Structure 1
């Protein structure tokens, strides 16, 4: 009998040893079991923490507006538009259906107000009005969107409009949407909009409009401050969310959940998993100078090479950071003109010989071409300099 009992215990222990890894894998895959596709990444490194069909091409619905907001933030950064600049609403923009702030033809709002309408209320009319302001027409703005998709190296996305309203051949993927969210978050000030739960437009008028964030996790999950929901009958319930806790920012994307409740629960589960399992170790802040680059024929002789984003290293909790090798490669023979934000170098971080971070370094300022007179004086000074 003892021999039989011993054999039963041995079989039980062997079963546990065999099944434990499988159980762990199943637990992980259950993070988004009720969605068509999903992904979880750490923002600074872009490292994938969870993946489910992340390259499947699906309708993104209003998550499309993440790219719309990227181009708006770039236009602000490049001083093509200002936050306090008035934007006029065309008849076409005012005719948009779906989520809207009910702009009337000819109505004007500031860029800041339009951005609040887009980020908080998912306003289709404000999205088109901003597209027309920046590019002249929605069609031209869509070309800019698809060019940015190409610039980011994304393969699973094609946009046909700026809103995400249903249209043939308009698609994206969980992976691409996560990378777009990563790009949008380079503009850290965007979370002042996407992280606001409620706000008002047309204040002090009889048409005061209450904005409530379509992303309820902004209110109910600590640390969530964006980014964008999406829903159409074809796309079902979608969400690209970001949260920051203890210095680590993660991005979770869900496509095709059956309900708002399921969508939010699965995103919350992914965020819980990230914060329970991983930790980031900051290396550099965004805008930190990592070198000086000489510029020829410019109105200034040198510029700083700045980090384009915050740089961190990701580890499992309890792991130590060891054997890191950082290298900075700056471009040579730079000639004016140069725009602020132009790539002028690259930062690479390796761990045990493997590249774990690769990020571009950008110009700290605009450099205009120097006038012939300035170049003459500069050359003359070289010849007359005392030895």
Structure 2
């Protein structure tokens, strides 16, 4: 028994020693990170959730890994057509080249045939709602002349948008080993698409019908494949509050895919679900992502445009330019987890000396969440401030005289007061002299028997006379 206790004691001491050597645990921003503590449970292999307005990534699952986008490709085709084809009523003749190989590959089509001349608008809806590869190819030719040139345009646009993991080989998304993207890149592309009012309008529509066509006398009726299961109010439908529309995709290598947009708790978001194997699991995952974001996040306005941060004095500058007022240029809005601790820090100089060169750093402003900086703005002088001579010499005089710098000003004030006082004394003496003369004259007149009025009249004549003599 004692031996067993001895072993237990040694084991306890070893464990205590190991634990005591571990570094102390510190709380961090991850403590409140829902994607770590309570991540969404998804069927899809790839997923991405991003706020369109702030650019924040709220969730990523293999977001930068290569995936096949399938018909999600068509949102690039649609947005480029919107960018380049401004006349929505422009007719686009359907040719055999546009339709070549689509039937053999089992591509989904809107139903356009050779001889039809749909408008650009009809082709846009044909690419978006029924996911028509025929409409996509027609838009590509209408924009660039050939499908090859249009693919070049797609890749240039992808590079411009920062879609570093993407390479396109066609306008419709049918499988090609060299036609790939990432969940992140598709989200970035969708963010750009949602900046276009016409794009938002197209993906929000459930049904659309073309005008009369050569092959369809009554036009082609189209139904959205994206909206088919969403907010339908029927059995098998999935309720996604705030859903604005999106684009599905499917090939065997790509699985079921969906890129979409929705507004949840005031947050305007894009969600991507890629390579989901169930018939509707890509829709379920999209609903899960938006619901998860609405449960764990809210949008906060952390600072507002025009907020005064600091006032910096510029010594030796002209009175009109001796102060720089630092204000925030934009609103600062973020999606933050519940229970987040928000704080701010600012570090600005109080005064600077002219001349001040344009671009001189004046200070910084930071917003911190749970101690981690999420926003930082460095403020610099926006122009050059030159020395003002009068301000400069006044400053140097103050430096030279030190505590006695007030003496010249005080002396000037004393001199002015002295001059005013002297003038008042002279004026008072003059009035006194007149009164004395009047009294003396009155006394003499009384002796002579004359009245005061006559004496004053004589005195009035005498005084101007003497003044005239003085002037002469």
Q: 2:335 aligns with which of 301, 308, 314?
A: 314
For 1:116 and 1:322, locate their aligned partners in 2 and report how far apart those are by CA, in whole Å. Answer: 47
1:296 match = none
1:351 match = 367
For 1:218 and 1:226, locate their aligned partners in 2 and report how far apart those are by CA, in whole Å. Answer: 11
1:158 match = 167
Larger Rg: 2
2:221 match = 210
Q: 1:179 aligns with which of 181, 184, 188?
A: 188
- Quote how far apart the aligned CAs of 1:189 are: 3.0
2:242 match = 223
- Quote how far apart the aligned CAs of 1:74 are: 1.7
1:276 match = 295
Aligned with 1:108: secondary structure? coil
Q: Name the Cα RMSD after superposition.
A: 3.1
Q: 2:87 aligns with which of 78, 82, 86?
A: 82
Distance 1:25 1:45, change over 3 A: closer
For 2:35 and 2:344, locate their aligned partners in 1 and report how far apart those are by CA, in whole Å. Answer: 29
**TM-score (normalised: structure 2):** 0.55
In the alignment, does 2:52 pair up with 1:31? no
- 5+ unaligned residues in a row in structure 1: which ranges? 1-20, 285-309, 326-348, 358-387
Structure with bigger strand share is 1
* Larger RCO: 1 or 2 (CA < 8 Å, sep 6+): 1
For 2:332 and 2:279, locate their aligned partners in 1 and report how far apart those are by CA, in whole Å. Answer: 33
Deviations 1:232-251, CA, capped at 9 Å, x for gaps: 11111011111113532111
- Quote how far apart the aligned CAs of 1:29 are: 3.6
For 2:285 and 2:259, locate their aligned partners in 1 and report how far apart those are by CA, in whole Å. Answer: 11
Distance 1:106 1:252, change over 3 A: same
CA contact (8 A) 1:196 1:218 kept: no
- Quote how far apart the aligned CAs of 1:30 are: 4.0
Aligned with 2:148: secondary structure? helix
CA contact (8 A) 1:250 1:274 kept: no
Aligned residues: 285
Q: 2:264 aligns with which of 222, 227, 245?
A: 245
For 1:27 and 1:214, locate their aligned partners in 2 and report how far apart those are by CA, in whole Å. Answer: 34
2:275 match = 256
- Quote how far apart the aligned CAs of 1:198 are: 1.7
In the alignment, does 2:129 pair up with 1:125? no
- Quote how far apart the aligned CAs of 1:104 are: 1.3
